[in-house]
Amino acid sequence: MNSSQLNSRECQLYARHIIMSQIKLSGQERLKKSKIVCVGAGGLASSTLMYLVGAGVGTIGVIDNDIVELSNLHRQVLYNMQQIGKAKSLAAVESLKKLNPECILKPYNQKLCWNNAYLLMQDYDIVIDCTDNLHSRHVISSTAKQLHKIHVYGAISTFEAHISVFNYRGGPSYNDIQQINKNTDNNCQSAGVIGVLPGLVGLIQATESIKMIIGAGNILDGYMMIYNALEMSFRKIRIREYYRSISKQVKYNNTEVEFGNKNTGEYVSVRYLHETINNKQKKVYLVDVRSKAEYTVRHLKNSISIPLHKLRKNNNLKILKQQTRQQILIIYCTSRYRSRVASSLLNKSNIYHYILQE
């Protein structure tokens, strides 16, 4: 029997799919034959994986090297209290097997990086990006393009989400459009996120993946969908128009941040920071612009906490300008949005500075 043919239990399990004119038996067999790998097993992946497994995608890989933590559970509904401390990839497969034992589930308890990306992604048709950091997205994008794999992108922060599909039928890649604007990134770790948001975005990522497999509907190829939960609004914007508008300015907490300005702080590497610190002739004034709570949990050695909201006060800016007159000012944050906001505030006060690259 062909491995893509459905058995009697599967015919019953997917009955509501099979009766749809857009899917039928042939479409369900394509789903069974398909292979999808999910990079990251957090909030986005929770709903993505559950609905891909429920839909009957034949083989699903889960790449993640984190463990389940208590703080994950408000949004990562794939897990439960009894799984705290377990590897996420293994815990995810454990939960998903109970939902649909017909699917082949492959956990990869490791972090995706340049050394393993090709090997981990080569056997799959679609790569779903459920990560929360810029570096992983660059690795996914480069490797997916090299392997001619579709890259389904999702990013979340606070109440907003961005979703798109890259490398689809000759369409742009994530790295291609990042060349237009290298200064934006969404990261829920740095700014927080409302628990229901990743669930919705993961559903959209799963929906786009299923549509591509069965060959139905329009795909988010060449478009960025922006969802705002506070306004309950969806906007679909052409990729190039979207990044052209963002590259001019981004509004964050009522502060306009201009990009491409010659006075904007330049990015410097961690290596540059270490070399400058080791150079006794140059003193570094390292400022952490995250919240006090984030600083307390973890911060770079010898850094000073000046949360973004304090930088908005003219008196604090005057003091900072005076204190750094004979020093090299470097600001850092886990969110590029907040880094650029802080940089814009410093520019307006003519405070020369650098931004530490992640």
- Better pLDDT: 52 or 296: 52
DSSP string, 125-146: SEEEE---SHHHHHHHHHHHHH
Query: Is 133:140 a contact under the CB 8 Å cutoff?
Result: no
Mean pLDDT of 68-83: 95
Give percent of the chain above pLDDT 90. Answer: 59
Which strand ranges, in their side-by-side order, compose the sheet holding 304-305?
266-268, 354-356, 328-332, 284-288, 304-305
What pLDDT is recorded for position 246? 46
**Beta-ladder partners of 35:** 59
Query: Is 129:154 a contact under the CB 8 Å cutoff?
Result: yes
Mean pLDDT of 108-125: 96
Q: Give the CA count within 13 Å in the CB-facing half-sphere of 92.
A: 37
Q: State both tokens at 155.
A: 């990013």
The terminus-to-terminus CA distance of the chain in angstroms comes to 51
3-state class of 74 per DSSP? coil
Q: State both tokens at 7.
A: 């058995």
Distance (Å, rounded) from C-alpha 102 to C-alpha 83? Answer: 23
Query: Does position 261 have pLDDT exceeding 50, yes or no?
Result: no
Query: Does position 1 have pLDDT exceeding 50, yes or no?
Result: no
pLDDT tens digit sequence for 169-194? 888 899 877 644 443 444 445 568 89
Pairing of the two strands 233-238 and 223-228? antiparallel
Query: Does position 352 have pLDDT exceeding 80, yes or no?
Result: yes
**Number of residues that make up the chain:** 358
Mean pLDDT of 195-208: 96
What pLDDT is recorded for position 161? 93
What pLDDT is recorded for position 265? 66
Query: Is 237:223 a contact under the CB 8 Å cutoff?
Result: yes
DSSP-assigned letter for residue 265: P
Query: Does position 338 have pLDDT exceeding 70, yes or no?
Result: yes
Greatest CA span in the chain, whole angstroms? 77
Mean pLDDT of 270-280: 77
- Better pLDDT: 334 or 206: 206
DSSP-assigned letter for residue 20: S
Query: Is 165:204 a contact under the CB 8 Å cutoff?
Result: no
What pLDDT is recorded for position 170? 83
Query: Is 156:227 a contact under the CB 8 Å cutoff?
Result: no
What pLDDT is recorded for position 183? 37
CA triple 105-112-57, angle to 5 deg: 25
Identify the band that residue 240 occupies on the pLDDT scale cut at 50, 70 and 90. Answer: low
What pLDDT is recorded for position 280? 67
Query: Is 92:106 a contact under the CB 8 Å cutoff?
Result: no
Pairing of the two strands 284-288 and 266-268? unpaired
Identify the band that residue 132 occupies on the pLDDT scale cut at 50, 70 and 90. Answer: confident
Mean pLDDT score across all residues of the chain? 86
The residue written with tokens 């300015």 in the block is 249
Distance (Å, rounded) from C-alpha 51 to C-alpha 117? Answer: 24
> Which domains, ranges and CATH numbers included, belong to the chain?
34-252 (3.40.50.720), 258-356 (3.40.250.10)
Query: Does position 342 have pLDDT exceeding 80, yes or no?
Result: yes
Query: Is 154:126 a contact under the CB 8 Å cutoff?
Result: no
Identify the band that residue 263 occupies on the pLDDT scale cut at 50, 70 and 90. Answer: very low
Q: What is the pTM of this model?
A: 0.68
CA triple 216-218-220, angle to 5 deg: 125
Q: Residue 41's closest CA among 209, 190, 202? A: 202
Distance (Å, rounded) from C-alpha 203 to C-alpha 161? Answer: 12
3-state class of 348 per DSSP? helix
Query: Does position 257 have pLDDT exceeding 50, yes or no?
Result: no
